[in-house]
Structure 1
Amino acid sequence: MGGSVPPLAVDIDGTLSRADSSIDGRVLDVLREWDAPVVVATGKALPYPVALCQYIGVPPRVVAENGGVGLAEDEITYHGDREAAQRVVDEYVEAGYGTGWGRVDLVNKWRETEVAVAREQPLGPLEELAARHGLHVVDTGFAYHVKSPGMNKGRALRDVAAALDYGLSAFVAVGDSQNDVEMLAEVGTGYAVGNADEAAKAAADAVLDAEYADGFLAAVERILDEA
């Protein structure tokens, strides 16, 4: 890859993965060989994308928890309120619902700014309780996330970009979900893979026909052609 490629922000689930949520191995060397900063942006808690970066062999530059946490150049920023989100979920459970994760909740164990509830659980009551507390629920396609208003991947990516001495408009981004909307809209060029939801497609500058990791690789081809 030439030195003119832009910095890249990329979602994990639904973008670097196959339909069964496993990471497509073809994307790993693409990210490792990218000749500009790579930022992994995900709804998962911070340890997951950090571990992915380490196994790929790239510096840990991360947006985690749907924008609740940003990490770059040994600096972490926070944008959410875990205690407020936990109060909402506690009331949800007291009302007779559940988080849906079973006895050992690895989904939320390391979360610092939000709380996730399985999509099999009723959404309406969760949204009502969140609104009562001045919070918001985002459906990532994998879980319902109770989070602070204004907390999103675009905002956290702005902090990460500044730490890397880039403006947000210098970045290209690839994503697939409602939680990618702000990131796709605010970067220089946003790409939605073919399996993206309608909100992500509407926010993107370009929508690929190919889905999941195939869509990411198709976006990479376009980015390299335009570099």
Structure 2
Amino acid sequence: MTWLNSLSYGSGGWGDELLHGLGVTLALAIATFPFAVVLSFLIHWAKVSRFKALRLFGRAYTTVFKSLPEILTLLILYYQSQAIVSWVVEAIAPGSHLSISPFVAGMMSLAFVISAYGSEVVRGALNAVGKGQFEAASSLGLSPVHAFFKVILPQLWRHAIPGFGNLWVILLKDTSLVSVITLFELTHVASMAINTTRQPFLFFGLIAIIYVLLVTFSTRAQKQLEKRVSRGFTREENGDV
């Protein structure tokens, strides 16, 4: 059958390219997410800082990256970072050349967008924990840093996992946008296959199924993680009736 030949491995089909594209998609999402989570905390702390400059920066960061379409953020960062890096390298070492890879540009762009929303997840989780926990830790003689990592963070994750889980799903889907800067991820491979085979229904349908499976698996994993971190808490504390 024609569609089986199109999905076969080797020079006659696109099976190996699609598998490679799936690997790049997952690698991009997995590499971006921890970076985005760390940025989420930093941006939240900037927005509540006692320094006005940091507060203004945090608010401007959130406003800009929540307002711009993700694809526009990607294009601006990719092409502008190329120009800036080239200018810096030329100034330091004339005649040299250095470029930003599409993978790194995609990772940076997606992390900035996700962290803008993630900072709100952090804010909500900290409010759910309550200031009383900070005060209790302080009364025990813990420094703010030790109080956060030993007392607050273990409780914060229980409230933050649903929000960050949703952002992970959004990140998985947004990796498809990086195809516009020719990163060899799943959607870009499918587009190349369609241009060659003229079978859009086959390849777009296939990657649609793949994304549904990825999101379904991620959602189930999130539910299991939520149950695990909620052990030892009462049903009322977990929000159940």
Q: Return the TM-score normalized by structure 1.
A: 0.30
The structure with the largest helix share of the pair is 2
Q: Return the TM-score normalized by structure 2.
A: 0.29
Where relative contact order (Cα < 8 A, 6+ residues apart) is larger, the structure is 2
